[in-house]
Structure 1
Amino acid sequence: MRVLGVIPARFKSSRFPGKPLVKILGVEMIKRTYMQAKNAKTLNKLVIATDDKRIFDFCKQENLEVVITSESHLTGTDRIAEVAHKIHADFYVNIQGDEPIIDPKSIDEIVNFALDSHKKGKKYEVFNLYKNISPKEAQRNSIVKVVINENNELIFMSRFPIPFSKSNENPNYKKQVAVYVFSAYALKLFEQSFKMHGKGVNERFEDIEILRFIDMGEKVKMLECFYDSISVDEPCDVELVKKWLVGNKK
């Protein structure tokens, strides 16, 4: 089966404009993400998908494979759905451009998990990673919290700390790690749903694109991730990445 890795990148982020090109210890974030993802063994091909000429020109200059997409997309997955019309694959991996220390092993694990699931005939078209976090981390609205059932299927995601604890007991909080695997069929569903209804209700409230599948009644299979991951959602996150890189001598 053919697996295409796609890194969606847009310049006009509401919380952090221009972040794909922000330099982290001298290297642009989008390049760091690309070079990390390039080391994944399960990807047949890796491209950056952007609607911005500045990002496109930078990628060309740095010999990073890139495709130009429409400016109308509201989410990275919508952007990948357009890429799916241009580049054929059986599975598409959404690797967020603001994950500059993404471990390629985490990409390989979820891709192999998805491929194995399909070989066994299990009916999942969407796969996502999660990682356990501290109660302190769970308070940040920029970190997407995850609730799953005993079958590791997604119940809900929220920027609010969920599940809520009525007692003083701290729940085992989990965060979403922004690596998704979609079958080609799942991307068609995602695209068609937007054309018919726009963003899903919960997707719109929370601003979490994977919730469109939950709004559609589609199952999302979750896999625990044990590798480090820092999503750069706000300028302050750049310092966290710098500290990690220095501490790990990267």
Structure 2
Amino acid sequence: MKKIALIPARYGATRFPGKMMALLGGKTVILRTYESTVNTGVFDDVMVVTDSEDIYNEIVSHGGKAVMSKKEHECGTDRIAEAVVDMDVDIVVNVQGDEPFTQREPLEKLLKVFEGEAGRQVQVASLMQELKDPELVEDPNYVKVAVDKNSNALFFSRSVIPYPRDKAIKTVYYEHIGIYAFRKQMLLDFTQMPMTPLESVEKIECLRYLENGIPMKMVATTYMGVEIDTPEDLKKAAKFL
């Protein structure tokens, strides 16, 4: 299978405009994300897909690969789908541009679910990690996911799921890490599906798959990096670095 990583990156993020070009330890967030993704060594190619000339030039000037996309995309998935239409590729991994600590092991585990006979049935997969800090469980900036016995997603929410009605039962909470892997055709199909009601209200795009009856395989990882959504996250990332 030919596997590539595409990193969607727009300049005007709602909660933290310009975060991709924010400095983290002397390098921009987007450059760190690109370099860490390349350094995993698990992809045949890695590219940043952006609507920003500043981001494009930042990657290309450091010897990286980037492509320009349209500005009007609703989400990162639509942005990478535009870029991948004419590419000869089997599996496309969407690595968020605000994940500067991307590591090899979680990506290897994610790609592995597409292998073998069982893997033929998997069309889209993503990562999750256990959330143990009660404040983060309550934080709507941390998207939670509940899964079935086969690690297929049941629901994603910014609310606390599952709700601990019975305090005597130990409850495990999982945070959804926004790194997705798609078969190419499923990625292209996604862009033809209209936005769904739950997706609209939660502002979580992967709910579109579940609302259309498409299973999403979740892969548990112990990856504990920092996803940069807010200026406070950037401070956390600097400490983590």
TM-score, length basis structure 1:
0.91
Residue 211 of structure 1 is aligned with which of 198, 207, 211? 207
Residue 235 of structure 1 is aligned with which of 206, 219, 231? 231
1: CA distance, partners of 2:86 / 2:237: 33
2:101 is the counterpart of 1:101: yes
Report the AA paired with residue 239 of structure 1: K
CA contact (8 A) 1:37 1:107 kept: no
SS in 1 for 2:35: helix
- Write the deviation string for residues 56-110 of structure 1: whole angstroms up to 9, x where unpaired: 1222212220011111111111111111114221110000011111212211221
CA contact (8 A) 1:130 1:222 kept: yes
Report the AA paired with residue 4 of structure 2: L
SS in 1 for 2:111: helix
How far the C-alpha of 1:211 sits from its partner, in A, is 1.0
2:229 is the counterpart of 1:222: no
CA contact (8 A) 2:225 2:240 kept: no
2: CA distance, partners of 1:162 / 1:241: 26
TM-score, length basis structure 2:
0.95
Q: Which runs of 4+ in 1 moved over 4 A?
A: none
Report the AA paired with residue 233 of structure 1: D
1: CA distance, partners of 2:225 / 2:100: 8
Report the AA paired with residue 132 of structure 1: E
Residue 126 of structure 1 is aligned with which of 124, 127, 130? 124
Which runs of 5 or more structure 2 residues have no equivalent in the other structure?
Answer: none
- Write the deviation string for residues 23-51 of structure 1: whole angstroms up to 9, x where unpaired: 01111000111111112232100000001
How far the C-alpha of 1:54 sits from its partner, in A, is 1.3
CA contact (8 A) 2:31 2:58 kept: no
2:198 is the counterpart of 1:202: yes
Report the AA paired with residue 65 of structure 1: K
Please give the residue correspondences for 1:127-206 in structure 2 after superposition, counting only pairs within 5 Å. 127-134=125-132, 135-169=134-168, 171-193=171-193, 197=194, 199-206=195-202
CA gap of 1:234–1:192, structure 2 versus 1, over 3 A, is same
1: CA distance, partners of 2:213 / 2:54: 38
1: CA distance, partners of 2:104 / 2:33: 10
**More helix as a share of residues:** 1
The number of equivalent residue pairs is 239
SS in 2 for 1:192: coil
Greater mean deviation of Cα atoms: 86-95 or 164-173:
164-173
1: CA distance, partners of 2:107 / 2:39: 9
CA contact (8 A) 2:151 2:219 kept: yes
SS in 2 for 1:123: coil
How far the C-alpha of 1:206 sits from its partner, in A, is 1.0
2: CA distance, partners of 1:70 / 1:89: 21
